[in-house]
Structure 1
Amino acid sequence: MSTAHRPRRSCLYMPGANARALEKAREIPADTLILDLEDAVAPEAKGEARGAIAAALAAGGYGQRELVVRMNGLDTEWGHADLEMAVKSGAHAVLAPKVTSARDIERLDAALKKAGAGDGFALWVMIEMPLAILNIHEIAAASVGSHLTTFVMGTNDLAKEYRARMTPERAAFQTALQLSVAAARAYNLTAIDGVYNDIKNETGFAAECEQGRDLGFDGKTLIHPSQVEACNRVFAPSGADVEQARAVIAAFADPANAGKGVLKVNGKMTELLHLDEARRAVALDEAIRALAD
């Protein structure tokens, strides 16, 4: 599947030091698996975890799931080895933590090229520091000509750095979330929302998924397999959405409507901009169905 059209509704973190979790991940219907070498792994276990992820990826069995390795920062003793392993492992991307500037993207891109990353290998970055929010435009602009394709919001780290509370409406983070989506869209990047910590609160989780979707995010990072099903549902176009999208496409394709910029489709005022949205919804629906086949 083309990475450009790949659904990224659910991006599940899996601890790299847990062999059982890496095995179980082969059966979890997440669109993306983020195999974690950073926060989920103690310093003394990082080398062993790196080897475990490399072995798991070599063994395969993950089907059409997108595979991303979350590395330690390049300024740590583990970062370069993590990045090189990710490039050689068969993963689709590496996720780098705590970027704050375009210079960070340039350093990571140079390291990827030195490690032999091809054009199809992607750089994802965590947006989790106050300076990243202040520099979000220059970070996004650094994607031009580089491997950078995806922003991942690190809302827990932002909460710590902001000294802010994580309330249900996420009031303290609205500016960060919205600026990150705006920068991602300006440079055709994927934008993934942050995690929801209260695993047992299914209602709260669904509400935050809906908020992230409404803000424009493509999907959400998850910390537990039980969150995958609801996340996949919220970030997928509904049956009614797809039906309306197909009706919009058909209406504009009708020769009787040639040259018209505004139509009424199923009682709704519809412009050419809605045609673009309709095509995107249908493409996403088809890509999701392809994952299920």
Structure 2
Amino acid sequence: MTEFVPLRSVLYMPSSNERALEKAKSIACDGLILDLEDAVAPDAKPAAREAACAAAASGEYGRRTVTIRVNGIGTEWHDADLEAAAAAGPDAVVVPKVNSAAEVRQLVDALERYGAPDHTTLWAMVETPVAILDALAIARASERLSTLVMGTNDLVKELYAEHVPGRAPILPSLHTALLAARAAGIAILDGVYNDVKDTDGFLAECRQGREMGFDGKTLIHPGQVEGANEAFAPSAQAVEDARGLIQAWEDGRGAGVVTYQGRMVENLHVESARRTLAIDEAIRALG
């Protein structure tokens, strides 16, 4: 099994806000998206670009996965953002509104042309109807693409839908993108929850995302980190059951039918248990 990198909580931080970038060093999130797009006013974008790249290159964010979200393809800031981000060498470059496999390849070619180190991967935001319909092609377009990020606010807008509890209007889209990510063997992050004061609604959406199979959730406020970390981590009982199941499997090897707590154990159950333990160990390693 490849090394598991926890992405339970991935927090957007405005790169135009120096205090926010400093505070991010002490927030217990698994990942950061240093934002140059929505959270930054047009006249502040050049300074925000410089600040984000300096932060990403600083090595001062510990074990957190540090990414930079550039402005989208076709905007006046995109090329300069991408070139600067590639030179800074973050863990990933996040690109909004990626609509096709051709755009993925275009982005990867640009990263390589600008000298991005091998460890800098691409995260593609899926947030339009055409991206949902082409999600599998996008997910399989390049080995450098490591993560899909759901842009649920833009998706709701593009569909003329509404934000409702349970997210029924966009569930088919979420499932489609999730299927694509799993078919391609890459990670996928759920979209943001907008009402930072609605803790119950946020936690319910975290549980929904976890039950669906997302690796974690993108966040807009530090107060959401703890809830996401808990929701997307294996429970103590799940870890105990995983250890017990694997032990039963190993003890019963060659004995025909293996059971654990009255349930038949097959290889697929063992693979799931090992993934649970890998996730738990990776989370513990974060300290």
Please classify the TM superposition score into its range, dividing by the shorter chain length: over 0.9
Name the CA distance, whole Å, in 1 between partners of 2:263 and 2:32.
39
The question of whether the paired residues in 1 share the 8 Å contact of 2:125 and 2:148 is answered with yes
Q: 1:257 aligns to what? A: 253
Runs of 4+ in 1 over 3 A off after TM superposition: none
Map residues 169-208 of structure 1 onto 2, 5 A cutoff. Answer: 169-208=166-205
- Structure 2 counterpart SS, 1:81: helix
Q: 1:40 aligns to what? A: 39
Name the CA distance, whole Å, in 2 between partners of 1:13 and 1:192.
13
Q: 1:84 aligns to what? A: 83
Name the CA distance, whole Å, in 1 between partners of 2:114 and 2:89.
13
Q: Which stretch shows the higher mean deviation, 237-246 or 49-58?
A: 49-58
Q: 2:283 aligns to what? A: 288
Q: 2:20 aligns to what? A: 21
Write out per-residue CA displacement over residues 100-119 of structure 1, whole angstroms, 9 at most, x where no aligned residue: 11111010011011011233
Map residues 49-60 of structure 1 onto 2, 5 A cutoff. Answer: 49-60=48-59
The question of whether the paired residues in 2 share the 8 Å contact of 1:17 and 1:45 is answered with yes
Whether 1:266 and 2:261 are equivalent positions in the alignment is: yes
Q: Which stretch shows the higher mean deviation, 81-90 or 272-281?
A: 81-90
> 1:96 deviation in Å?
0.5
How many aligned residue pairs are there? 287
CA 1:122–1:224 in structure 2 vs 1: closer, same or farther (change >3 Å)? same
> 1:177 deviation in Å?
0.4
- Structure 2 counterpart SS, 1:35: strand
Map residues 60-139 of structure 1 onto 2, 5 A cutoff. Answer: 60-139=59-138
Name the CA distance, whole Å, in 2 between partners of 1:225 and 1:252.
41
The question of whether the paired residues in 1 share the 8 Å contact of 2:234 and 2:276 is answered with yes
Identity across the alignment (%): 54
Q: 1:161 aligns to what? A: 158
> 1:140 deviation in Å?
1.4
CA RMSD of aligned residues (A): 1.5
> 1:269 deviation in Å?
2.8
Counterpart AA for 2:9 = S
Name the CA distance, whole Å, in 1 between partners of 2:225 and 2:275.
22
Write out per-residue CA displacement over residues 156-208 of structure 1, whole angstroms, 9 at most, x where no aligned residue: 00011011001011001111100111000001010100000010111110000
- Structure 2 counterpart SS, 1:177: helix
Counterpart AA for 2:230 = R
> 1:150 deviation in Å?
0.4
Name the CA distance, whole Å, in 1 between partners of 2:56 and 2:126.
26
> 1:56 deviation in Å?
2.3
- Structure 2 counterpart SS, 1:159: helix
> 1:277 deviation in Å?
0.4
Consecutive unaligned residues of structure 2, counting only runs of 5 or more, are: none
Name the CA distance, whole Å, in 1 between partners of 2:115 and 2:4.
24
> 1:253 deviation in Å?
1.5
> 1:141 deviation in Å?
1.9
Write out per-residue CA displacement over residues 214-249 of structure 1, whole angstroms, 9 at most, x where no aligned residue: 111000000000000010000000000001111111
Name the CA distance, whole Å, in 2 between partners of 1:248 and 1:117.
43
Name the CA distance, whole Å, in 2 between partners of 1:219 and 1:59.
25
The question of whether the paired residues in 2 share the 8 Å contact of 1:252 and 1:258 is answered with no
Q: 1:278 aligns to what? A: 273
Output the TM-score relative to the length of structure 1: 0.95
